[in-house]
Amino acid sequence: MKKPEISRERVRTLLDTRYIRVFDLQYGEKGHYYDATRRDAENLAAVKTEAEFREMLPDAVSCFLIVKTPDAPYRLVLFHEYRYPVGRFLLSPPAGLIDAEDRGGGFEAALLHTARREIFEETGIRLTEKDRLFVVSPLLFSSPGMTDESNGLVCAVTERENLDCLNQRGAVGSECFDGFTLLTKEEALATLRRGRDERGRTYSIFTWAALTYFACDLWKEDSPVNGAET
C-alpha cells in the first residue's frame, strides 16, 4: 500500500495557543487526520523528511532514576504528580520538556542535560560525574494516533550515603507533587502485576517503562541492552 504523503502546504491550523496546537493533516483529496501537538506547523513530525526525522529531538525527557544507599538495595525513584487531564495524582518518574537552552551540543547532550535538570528540580538529587547517566531510547511516541508528542528516555544510576536531599521544592508552574515512592526490584514487579501502586494509584506508559526497565535489570552495566553512556 502506498504511504500517505503529508506536505507542509497541506497542513491547516485548527487551534493555536501558547501550550497546544491542533492541525489538520490533509493526506488526500478527502483525507484528514488531526494532530494535537506542542510543535508549530514547520516542525511537525509528519512533514519531516526521513533525514530530518532521524535527527529530530523529542519534546521531552523521561528519567529512570535508580539509587543505592548503604542501608538498602538499588531502588527506583518515583513520585506522585498531579496530572491535570486525568484530574488526579499518578505514579510518575522525573520528566520534563527539552528547553531551548538544552539544545546546544548535539542530540545526546540535549537529552542528558534535560535529565540532569529535571532530576534535580523534581527530586533534589544533583548528579555528578561519578554517576552513570545514559540514553535508553532517543525517541518514543506515547499516543501517535492523536499526537506527535515524543519523549526520550534517560537512565541515571547513583550511589548516595543517604537520601536526605530528597525534596520536591523545585516544583515550577503548574507542577504539584505528593511525595516519593522508592521501589525495590520485587516491589517494582508487584506494581507491574497490579497495574497500580500500593496506594491504588495508576500510572502512565512511561512509568510502566521505568518499572519494566528496572525490574528486568536492563540498567545494569553487564546488561545486553544499554544506551550511550556519559
Please provide residue 189's backbone torsions phi and psi, each rounded to the nearest 5 degrees: -65, -40
**What number of other Cβ atoms are within 10 A of residue 217's Cβ?**
12
Secondary structure (3-state) at 124: coil
Nearest in space to 74 (alpha carbons), one of 161, 156, 167, 183: 183
CATH architecture of 60-215: Alpha-Beta Complex (3.90)
Residue extents of the structural domains in the chain: 8-48, 60-215
What's the whole-model pTM score? 0.92
Give residue-wise pLDDT tens across range 115-174. Answer: 999 999 999 999 999 999 999 999 999 999 999 999 999 999 999 999 999 999 988 889
Give residue-wise pLDDT tens across range 176-198. Answer: 999 999 999 999 999 999 999 99
Nearest in space to 202 (alpha carbons), one of 76, 80, 91, 94: 91
Nearest in space to 154 (alpha carbons), one of 190, 130, 127, 124: 127
Res 226: pLDDT: 47
